[in-house]
A and B are shown apart, each in its own frame.
Chain A
Amino acid sequence: MEIPHSIRRIHTFLGLAFLLSSCASDLDIDQINNIKLEPVFVANLAFFDVPANKFIDDGNAHEIAVDVQPFKIFKENHFKDNLIKAELDFEIENTINRAFSIDFVLYDKNDAIVETITFEVPAYTGNPNVIKFPTEVFEQARLELLKKTVEIGFTVRIAAGPALNENSVGNLKLRSSATAYMEIE
């Protein structure tokens, strides 16, 4: 009787296959919920490069340039909600023989000032005049204020000194960047 023998063999094989397949390490699929991404992104924040001969000036101290621009990154809820820390870095180079004071101003949606950061820039005297300002760190309450920002503005004031005209040389340059620390769960 070969057939019953075959049946036994098939069953033995299948039984073994299932027995073998039952071996598995303990897995914890729920770990997926523990995923926490903490990327750090850097980006340009703002820049300008104004030549001296563009400033309208009579040699006295006065407010010489103003501009406000939309800044809508915090309208992106995904970005806003997952941002846990921000750093802003500013670098200003002045090759004009006048001192400047630059306000970086954050405005909320009601045009109210959220925060003003002021940078004092000495006059150019022939030596390299690049200033890297200390990093502005936004955490906790200061970060929450930053997140209300919808516009950013620059106000440039010039200190008294030799009057500027269309033949004046030199530039006032600003470069700035933002570092965004995200936590995505």
Chain B
Amino acid sequence: MRKVYLIILVVFQFGFAQNKALLYNFTSIPQASLVNPGADVSYKYYFGIPLLSGVSANLGSNSFTAYDLFANDGVDFTEKVRNIINKSSANDKTHVNEQVEVFSGGFRVGGEDSQSYVSFGVYQEFDFLMYVPKDLGILALDGNRDHMGKSFNLADLNVRAEALSVLHVGFHKKVSEKLVLGGRAKLYSSGANATSTNNSGFVYTDEIEGTRNIYSQVISSNVEIKTSGIATFREDEYKGSETEDIIHNSFFNGSLGLGVDAGVTYYFKDNLQFTASVIDLGFVRQSKDIETRTYKGSYTYDGVNPNFDDIDGPRNVLGDFEKAIPRETLYDKYTTWRPTKFYSSLQYSFGESRYGEECDCRAKSKRGYANSIGGQLFIMSMPKKPFTAFTAFYKRSIFEKLDFKATYTFDTFSNTNLGLGLSGTIGKFNIYALVDNVFEYKDVTKANSIAFQFGLNFIFPDSE
């Protein structure tokens, strides 16, 4: 049981949802091409400061906060857990995503007039998604006595977690003044995966008059827990460090997979822009240190039935149960799909940029608008139903090389999510910081969702 809470704890340490609303289409940051390979980004070449070019974390938990669970307020901890379970639904979720770019870079290909660009890099990612296991929580807290007639739903166990590294190479090209197309190929190497997302079954107890037994009790279970890269750590003789081994495995000994990103930017008019992208359309073939545990079967529990005829031998009720719902361990490879993200935006620009004429080093400035407003849509695949967020944004070039973006995002985690982002370039040195849900920073422990990203790059502009 404690392990479950330790997982929740880990979630809060990473702290943020995977919607990078601030980074999306913030084209003065080269990493914007990671959320849309068809973003209108241009450079002669750039490289990120290793390990510091893109650090991001996203945490969302829509039914409870760290404060609800760990507030130092003298309230009994078990009571807090009970309150959270009671007020949560089985569709409430806790989601964490963390990414660190190990290295990244890009360059223009072709001659001086070419508008084709290559970008590449390696990043490490940790992703965790767990729905609130409401019925299992009630069963663990209360037992079944006070819930006659209730079917405890085993589908409430729904969790996935993965630590992986991603090697990627992308290409984008300004096909015309109106159109930018881009794509990115990805090689995934997964160091650890745990997936238990397609469970079903129930635990049921009721008192029905006139039956031969006091209770009607049925357990029907179709539960499967798949792991890759984790079984070793559970062995008694394991003496190493899980974190180090998972990181090592994700770079050098992971389960491999493939994926693609694709994106587009289209200008209907000079000041009216549409973008769309699909990110992480891919899979990992889980093949290293794999273990699948299944609990499948159905059992009606009657208790002991003495046999006074003495025709049959004695029965072992517990043995019957284990035969009806056996715990089996399989070692088959399995495939997991990456959480696929879809972004789209529509942007309207206005107001002449005061710096447009003296600085034509960025494509955006060539268009010469100081302000942009618009909306963005984000959809991400999840085991139960897709996660959707809508963002309204405002972008402004404050100074020649200082851009600002503000976002207001509506999603299931929060409907008061104001995000602020800044990207500045001093000489060749680019620094950016993007902070979501700034209202929540007045007390981060009470935040349902927070996200931040920062990074440092050297950018050598297109025109030099």
Contacts and interface: CB of A to CB of B under 8 A. Distances in A.
B308 A65 contact: yes
Contacts of A9: 398-399, 402, 424
B136 to A, nearest CB: 11
A2 B400 contact: yes
A54 B308 CA distance: 9
Interface stretch (B76-84, B92-100, B249-257): B76-84
9 contacts: A7-B424, A21-B435, A24-B444, A31-B80, A32-B2, A34-B78, A35-B5, A39-B143, A175-B214
Interface residues of A, number: 64
- For chain B, which range describes its interface: under 10, 10 to 19, 20 to 34, or 35 or more residues? 35 or more
B175 interface: no
Contacts of B301: 43-44
Contacts of B377: none
Interface stretch (A45-53, A114-122, A138-146, A158-166): A45-53
A27 B71 contact: yes
A23 B443 contact: yes
Given A27-B67, A40-B146, A76-B318, 6 more contacts: A24-B444, A42-B144, A44-B214, A44-B215, A46-B304, A47-B305
Interface in B77-111: 77-78, 80-81
A121 B303 CA distance: 22
Contact of A44 (B302, B318, B424): B302
Contacts of A73: 318
B2 A47 contact: no
A5 B143 contact: no
Contact of B441 (A5, A23, A173, A179): A23
A32 B433 contact: no
A91 interface: yes
A92 to B, nearest CB: 12
A42 B205 contact: yes
B243 interface: no
Contact of B145 (A20, A27, A34, A179): A179
Contacts of A184: 1, 140
A77 interface: no
A153 interface: yes
Contacts of B438: 20
B353 interface: no
Interface stretch (B32-40, B114-122, B309-317, B378-386): B309-317
B51 interface: no
Interface in B119-155: 139-146
B214 A10 contact: no
A6 B248 CA distance: 40
Interface in B42-88: 66-67, 69-72, 76-78, 80-81
B240 interface: no
Given A31-B77, A89-B214, A177-B215, A40 B145 contact: yes
A21 B441 contact: yes
Contacts of A71: 304, 317
Interface in A32-75: 32, 34-50, 54, 65-73, 75
A86 interface: no
Q: Which 8 pairs, one residue from A and one from B, show the smallest C-beta to C-beta distance?
A: A39-B143, A44-B303, A67-B306, A65-B308, A46-B304, A28-B72, A31-B77, A40-B143
A112 interface: no
B330 interface: no
B143 A47 contact: no
B308 A156 contact: yes
B443 A24 contact: yes
A103 to B, nearest CB: 11
A176 interface: yes
B401 interface: yes
Contact of B78 (A35, A42, A46, A180): A35
